[in-house]
Structure formats: C-alpha cells, structure tokens
Amino acid sequence: MADPKGFLKVGRELPKRRPVDVRIKSWSEVYENFGNDKLEKQASRCMDCGIPFCHQGCPLGNLIPEWNDLVYRHDWREAIERLHATNNFPEFTGKLCPAPCESACVLGINQDPVAIKRVEAEIIDRAWQEGWVHPQPPAVRTGKSVAVIGSGPAGLAAAQQLTRAGHDVKVYERADRVGGLMRYGIPEFKMEKRHLDRRIAQMRAEGTDFKTSVNVGEDITADELRDRYDAVVLAGGATVWRDLPVPGRELRGVHQAMEYLTPANKVQEGDYAVSPISAEGKHVVVIGGGDTGADCIGTAIRQGAASVTQLEIMPRPPEARPGSQPWPTYPMLFKMESAHEELAEQGGDRVYAVSTSAFVGDEDGNVRVLKIVEVGGPETGFAPVEGTEREIPAQLVTLAMGFLGPQKDGLLEQLGVELDQRGNVVRDRDYKTSVDGVYVAGDMGRGQSLIVWAIAEGRAAAHGVDRHLTGQSALPYPIPPTARPIA
Ligand SMILES: Cc1cc2nc3c(=O)[nH]c(=O)nc-3n(C[C@H](O)[C@H](O)[C@H](O)COP(=O)(O)OP(=O)(O)OC[C@H]3O[C@@H](n4cnc5c(N)ncnc54)[C@H](O)[C@@H]3O)c2cc1C
Ligand code: SF4
C-alpha cells in the first residue's frame, strides 16, 4: 500500500490548465506540466482497498492500486509494466477517458477521489521520455493471417495484441491516415497527434501492416477479404450520425460535427492552410452537449469565431451526485471541460432544455438564424413550452447529436453479419459475429461509446481470434464478466 495516511494528509490536485487567453491562440494540449513529486503525493492517496471498486469502474481492469503504490515508491519503471499489462495505449485513456474508475473510487464516497487518470497519464509520458517503451515483435510466427477493418482504438488494440501473438496482421483504413476518431474527430488540444503517431510507429516496428485509403466493401469485397485472411476483425466504428431534419437543414453552413472537425484536424496535419469550413468571424451554434459538442466549441474558438453558443435538449445536469446515481455508478453531472471554460471566458453560452425548430437562411442560401424553443424534460417527451420561441444568430451550425450505429451498406451487408435491434453487430462472449471467423470490437458492436471500451473490446476480440486460430490463447481477456456480451 502507498502511504496509509496519504489520503488524510494530501488533497486531490490536478495540473493547471494554461490560461484561456494563451491556450486559445494555439492548438497544443491545454494542461501545464505536473511535477513527478506532486504526482507521487497524489498516488499516496490510494488506500489499496480490499475490494478496489476502481477496478470495477475500469473496462480494462487496470491494476490501479498496484501502480499507485509503485509511483508512490518512485518505481516508475515497474509502474509502466503493470499499466501496459492491461492497457495497450495508456496515453489515449490517460488524456481522453472520462475516468469511470474515479467515479467508482472508494475515496470518492466522502472525499475527492484519487487522481487515477492523471497518474496513468504521467506514468506513460515518463515511460516514453525515459525510453522504456519499445516495440515487442513476436518471438514465434504462427503463419496465420488476420485483417482488421478500421484503425480506431478498437482496431489498433486488436491489431497490436494479434501481432504480438505472432499472427500476420493487416489493418485496413478508409481514411488517408490511421487513428479513427482519435485522428480526425478529437482535436489536438485534447490529445496531440504525436502520441498517436508514436504508437503507430511502434506497431509498424512490431510487424503490423497498415493500408490506408482502402474502403473495405468497395475497394475489396467481403468475399475477397475472407479468401485472403484466416480471420477478420470488424472495428469500423459507429459512423452513421444523427441528423436534425427540420426546415432549412439544407442551408449552407449547417454541417455535421465530423464534417467540421475532420478538416480542422487536417489543418493540424498540414493538409490545408485554412479549414474549408472555418468558424472565423462567424456566429457559431453547436447543437449537442456531449464530448463532440465540446470539441466543436474549442475548435471554433481557436478558429476565431465571433461568438459560440451551445444548445442541449436535456435539462442542465446537477453538479453533485443525485440520489438516483449513487456511488459507485458513473453519474451524469454538469461538466466544465477545457472547451466549456474557454466558452465561458469568451462570453459564450450553454443553453439547456431547448430544441431547434428551424434554420432560416439569407437570400444566398446561407444559414442566418436558428429558431429555438424551450422544451420540457424527457418525461414530457421534450414538449415545447408555449411562448418561448426565439431566434439566435448563426452563420455556422454544427450538429453534434451522436451516432446511430455502424454503416450497414457495403461491408456489413456483404458479410451478412447479424445486427441487433439498434443496428449494431451482434457478438458472442468471444466477440465473434454470426459469421464464422469474423469478429467485432468497439463502437461497431457496442454502439457509440468510449475509447477505453474500444481498447478493452479490441483486446478481448484478439483473445477470441487467437483462440479461433490456434485453439488456445495466452492473450488476456479484460472485460469484466458483468459487462460481457451475452452469447
Ligand atoms: C468528436 C468526438 C470526440 C470524442 N471524444 C472522446 C473522448 O474524449 N473520450 C472518449 O473516451 N471517447 C471519445 N469519443 C468516442 C470515441 O472516439 C469512440 O468511442 C472510439 O473512437 C471508438 O473506437 P472504434 O475503434 O470502435 O471506432 P473509430 O474510432 O470510429 O474508428 C473506426 C475506423 O474504421 C474506419 N472504417 C469504417 N468502415 C471502414 C471500411 N469499410 N473500410 C475501411 N475502414 C473503415 C473508419 O474510417 C474509422 O477510422 C469521441 C467521439 C467523437 C466523435
Ligand atoms: S478505489 Fe480508489 S482508493 Fe481504493 S484502491 Fe482504487 S484508486 Fe485506490
């Protein structure tokens, strides 16, 4: 155990975000450095609980008390070994995860929880700095081949596990670069792409082969894929976005969030000098209050928007756990992400319990204003409140209202895999689909979710594939029993 009295002596502390007026002038990550000594003190707050509920909160089953203890004892090298034992990419989760582990931390019952996510991020950052992260090519090759479709966190985790198990793995990606939503959805200010590039270089050195700009189902048919490979992992994500079919939807300036975020990210890659969909000088409205909406806000502010307003149909969430969401559940609380902080300091607004009834354009067909109306809560079916209609200026609108599931036409139809009622690919406990030799991981089977779940499912699917190919598997199966898909 770390310091038995650590939680009595040390309060929770996180690194500071750079001042808003400074950070919005650049795309770099928003946090300042946190000294190793401060971090070791944070790790000392862990109580090494007899029943570590943080484990239950983490889909990867991260060995949290073990690496808290190792960090407290200055053994960072062993800490990264324990962290990598359950998580291929701790820098992705350390920077991007909403940390269900912290919501489940026992200290959180009556104090601030252990800063688990920050400890995770610092362990892997230090490991890269010290040169402790190396390629791990397999000692023995099996001669079996696997195609992984999609290079988001699920595809990358599955590919790394299967390559290390000795299989010949090729990852197909229809975009021009590898990374899935971490490449073209999530902006630099949340995670700089160098973290992704470094991992991909490691994977290439281990022997994983990447093929970009290939749309499987179009450029290669499902039959060709199955002929060429001994197994297939589907990791194509939940790419079908939810739309807002109200009058004026066709106006210029109304875009899906991913249509907006992708070119903004491509500017950071050096593909464009300026995004073809820039917020500069415009009144921007972001419809949707989740992660994607926050990423649109931070991007629009950095592009020099004249104003930014975020609309959300749900009522404003509470700031503390309501009785209906007790510890150790993951509560739906009011969040102040870095982009929200920037919005507040720039005089922007987050408006709750409103719905958009129409987009109104100018004589050239460009969106000019949004008609909105206040609505009742979900229990009323979001019924409009009479007399609350109003207009807000909008020259750029981004729709960040979530995703409906995976694309059905093309690959999934050709394979003929069974889909569930929500349109996601059905899988059994081994992450096998209804088609022999075809497995699924991440948002494609689970529906829109989180990076941590995508990595966990990629690892679990790799276990299933390895067993299918060799009759056994030494690869770990991380998903907690309660969260496994039903066969
Ligand atoms: C803007 C945004 C911000 C987010 N922020 C966070 C966050 O901060 N934290 C968090 O935990 N989660 C976040 N999420 C959710 C998270 O990114 C996803 O849950 C996660 O990326 C899913 O991983 P995946 O590997 O299943 O799919 P994806 O990351 O969606 O990757 C799927 C890949 O498959 C490719 N593909 C699809 N079909 C084919 C085909 N036929 N042939 C070849 N390639 C194909 C796609 O091009 C894509 O690159 C965010 C999502 C969005 C949209
Ligand atoms: S629940 Fe919190 S205090 Fe307990 S072992 Fe996990 S991180 Fe440490």
CB 182 within 8 A of CB 92: yes
- The percentage of residues in the chain with a pLDDT greater than 90, rounded to a whole number, is 95
Query: Residue 424 contacts by C-beta under 8 Å, 6 or more apart in sequence?
Result: 238, 405, 406, 444, 445, 446, 447
Residue 478 has pLDDT above 80, yes or no: no
> Mean pLDDT across the stretch 129-154?
97
Distance 100 CA to ligand 2 centre (A): 12
Residues β-bridged to residue 92: none
Which tokens in the block code for residue 399?
Answer: 């729709």
Quick check: helix, strand or coil at residue 145?
strand
Query: Residue 298 contacts by C-beta under 8 Å, 6 or more apart in sequence?
Result: 187, 189, 190, 338, 339, 342
What digits encode the pLDDT tens for the residues 70-86?
Answer: 999 999 999 999 999 99
Distance 300 CA to ligand 2 centre (A): 38
DSSP string over 19-45: PHHHHTTS-S-SBPP--HHHHHHHHTT
Binding site membership of 53 for ligand 2 (Cβ less than 6 Å):
yes
Question: How many Å apart are CA 444 and CA 423, to the nearest integer?
Answer: 9
CA-proximal residue: ligand 2, atom 1 (nearest): 105
Binding site membership of 105 for ligand 2 (Cβ less than 6 Å):
yes
Strands (E), 329-437: 349-352, 354-361, 367-374, 390-393, 396-399, 403-405
Binding site membership of 48 for ligand 2 (Cβ less than 6 Å):
yes
Binding site membership of 100 for ligand 2 (Cβ less than 6 Å):
no
> What does the pLDDT read at residue 486?
62
Residue 471 has pLDDT above 80, yes or no: yes
Give backbone dihedrals phi and psi of 285, rounded to 5 degrees, phi first: -120, 130
Quick one: which of 130, 122, 93 has its CA closest to 34?
A: 122
CA angle 421, 427, 430 (to 5 degrees): 160
Residue 376 has pLDDT above 80, yes or no: yes
CB 230 within 8 A of CB 266: no
- Has this prediction a pTM greater than 0.85? yes
Instruction: Return the exposure string of 224-236: e unless at least 16 CB atoms fall within 10 Å of the residue's CB, then b.
Output: ebbeebbbbbbbb
> What does the pLDDT read at residue 481?
60
> What does the pLDDT read at residue 1?
74
Binding site membership of 116 for ligand 2 (Cβ less than 6 Å):
yes
What digits encode the pLDDT tens for the residues 8-34?
Answer: 999 999 999 999 999 999 999 999 988
Q: Is 145 exposed, middle or buried (0-12, 13-18, 19+ CB in 10 A)?
A: middle
Residue 487 has pLDDT above 60, yes or no: no
The full set of domains in the chain, from first to last, is: 6-130 (1.10.1060.10), 145-239+404-483 (3.50.50.60), 243-401 (3.50.50.60)
- β-pair type (231-234, 438-440): parallel
Ligand 2 atom closest to the CA of 113, numbered from 1: 2
Quick one: which of 96, 68, 69, 194 has its CA closest to 455?
A: 96
Residue 482 has pLDDT above 70, yes or no: no
Query: Residue 320 contacts by C-beta under 8 Å, 6 or more apart in sequence?
Result: 333
Distance 156 CA to ligand 2 centre (A): 29
Binding site membership of 367 for ligand 2 (Cβ less than 6 Å):
no
Residue 372 has pLDDT above 70, yes or no: yes
Which of 114, 119, 330 most suits a substitution to test ligand 2, by most atoms within 8 Å of the C-beta? 114
CA-proximal residue: ligand 2, atom 2 (nearest): 105
> Sorting pLDDT into bands at 50, 70 and 90, what band is 485?
confident
Distance 261 CA to ligand 2 centre (A): 36
- pLDDT-wise least confident of 48-57, 202-211, 454-463: 48-57
Q: Which amino acid is at 307?
A: S
> What does the pLDDT read at residue 477?
81
- The percentage of residues in the chain with a pLDDT greater than 70, rounded to a whole number, is 99
> Mean pLDDT across the stretch 153-169?
98
Ligand that comes closest to the CA of residue 65: 2
> Sorting pLDDT into bands at 50, 70 and 90, what band is 480?
low
Question: How many Å apart are CA 298 and CA 296, to the nearest integer?
Answer: 6
How is the beta sheet containing 396-399 ordered, strand by strand? 254-256, 396-399, 283-287, 307-312, 349-352
Ligand that comes closest to the CA of residue 63: 2
Q: Give me the chain's average pLDDT, please.
A: 95
- Which DSSP category does 374 fall into? E
What digits encode the pLDDT tens for the residues 383-423?
Answer: 999 999 999 999 999 999 999 999 999 999 999 999 999 99
> What does the pLDDT read at residue 79?
97
Binding site membership of 43 for ligand 2 (Cβ less than 6 Å):
no
What digits encode the pLDDT tens for the residues 110-130?
Answer: 999 999 999 999 999 999 999
Quick one: which of 478, 422, 474, 428 has its CA closest to 154?
A: 478
What digits encode the pLDDT tens for the residues 208-266?
Answer: 999 999 999 999 999 999 999 999 999 999 999 999 999 999 999 999 999 999 999 99
Quick one: which of 118, 148, 127 has its CA closest to 35?
A: 118
What digits encode the pLDDT tens for the residues 295-344?
Answer: 999 999 999 999 999 999 999 999 999 999 999 999 999 999 999 999 99
Quick one: which of 272, 311, 275 has its CA closest to 293?
A: 311
> Sorting pLDDT into bands at 50, 70 and 90, what band is 56?
confident
Distance 124 CA to ligand 2 centre (A): 19
CA angle 121, 66, 478 (to 5 degrees): 75
Distance 2 CA to ligand 1 centre (A): 36
CB 150 within 8 A of CB 140: no
Q: How far is CA 201 from the centre of its chain?
A: 21
Distance 168 CA to ligand 1 centre (A): 24
> What does the pLDDT read at residue 345?
95
